[in-house]
């Protein structure tokens, strides 16, 4: 039997509390509620608005400002990653590992590109004085017409 603790471990309150504390964040009611929604069995892509609505739907009582705060704190703590594919809203991804995305432009939906089979060749080395922080591939999809 495997112990919990993988990157996508499901999130019981104990785990979350520990994780939050490890990140220097007090385990408040709001952060725990959001953590439970985010760090479930599968990876997720949310926006502040979508997560807030979801939280309200399950009876959590918190403001949109708190959702924004929390998403940024989680990101700072390495629990989330920001993904920019649309100028209008910011997505947050619970998968913080190295991976890429499909973006369904019509629906504004994001999906991880499965597997890490993707390789990128022929990239020039970074200009002097700089270093690569990340290489992001976005495959923009549209409905087949």
Partner DNA sequence: CCAGCACTTTAGAACAATTCTAAGATGTTG
Partner DNA sequence: CAACATCTTAGAATTGTTCTAAAGTGCTGG
**Please, are residues 54 and 67 in contact by the beta-carbon 8 Å criterion?**
no
- Among DNA, its own copies, none, what does residue 63 contact (CB within 5–8 Å per kind)? DNA
Taking the alpha carbons of 9, 141, 82, 90 in that order, is the dihedral positive or negative?
negative
* Burial degree of 71 (CB within 10 A; 0-12, 13-18, 19+): buried
Q: Least Å distance between CB 144 and its own copies?
A: 5
Residue closer to DNA (CB basis): 27 or 40: 27
Binding mask 93-112 for its own copies (x = CB under 8 A): ---------x-xx-----x-
Residues 91-120 that bind DNA (CB under 7 A): none
**Please, are residues 79 and 37 in contact by the beta-carbon 8 Å criterion?**
no
**Please, are residues 137 and 120 in contact by the beta-carbon 8 Å criterion?**
yes
Binding footprint of its own copies on the chain (CB under 8 A) = 84-87, 89-90, 102, 104-105, 111, 113-115, 117-124, 126-127, 129-144
Residues forming the site for DNA (CB under 7 A): 21, 24-31, 47-49, 61-66, 68-70, 72, 87-90
């Amino acid at each position: 039997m495997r112990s919990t603790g993988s990157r996508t471990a499901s999130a019981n309150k104990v785990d979350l509390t520990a994780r939050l504390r490890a990140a220097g964040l007090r385990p408040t009611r709001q952060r725990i509620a959001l953590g439970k929604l985010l760090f479930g069995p599968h990876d997720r892509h949310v926006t502040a608005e979508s997560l807030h609505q979801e939280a309200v739907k399950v009876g959590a009582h918190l403001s949109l400002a708190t959702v924004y705060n929390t998403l940024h704190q989680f990101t700072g703590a390495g629990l989330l990653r920001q993904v920019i594919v649309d100028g209008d809203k910011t997505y947050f991804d619970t998968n913080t590992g190295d991976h890429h995305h499909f973006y369904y432009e019509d629906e504004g939906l994001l999906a991880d590109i499965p597997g890490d089979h993707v390789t990128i060749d022929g990239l020039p080395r970074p200009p002097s004085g700089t270093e690569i922080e990340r290489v992001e591939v976005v495959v923009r999809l549209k409905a087949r017409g």
